[in-house]
Amino acid sequence: MKIALVIILSFFLLVISYFLYQKSLGAIPFLLASIVLFYLVYYIYTKNSREEEDEQQPEKEEPNKFK
């Protein structure tokens, strides 16, 4: 995930939070933040799991046709 996307999403979350707190709806920003953070952690976790699986599996060598 690009860092710029995370920064932009965080900025919009802060703006939305400000307006929702002014209308006494303060729990909604916490819900949105928890969803975003869950997605980020899940993305990082699955990315690391895939890299570990790739390291554990030996690479298949293609047979040399020109022997």
Q: Give Cβ neighbours of residue 21 (< 8 Å, ≥ 6 apart).
A: 29
pTM equals 0.56
- The band of 57, judged by pLDDT with boundaries at 50, 70 and 90, is low
Q: What is the pLDDT of residue 38?
A: 92
Q: How far is residue 7's CA from residue 20's CA, in Å, rounded to a whole number? A: 20
Burial of residue 30, with CB atoms counted within 10 A of its CB: 0-12 exposed, 13-18 middle, 19 or more buried: exposed
- Write the pLDDT tens digit of every residue in 33-56: 888 889 888 988 888 877 777 666
Q: What is the pLDDT of residue 62?
A: 65
Q: How far is residue 57's CA from residue 36's CA, in Å, rounded to a whole number? A: 32
Whole-number average pLDDT of the chain: 80
CA-wise closest residue to 14 among 29, 27, 31, 1: 29
Q: What is the mean pLDDT of residues 11-17?
A: 87
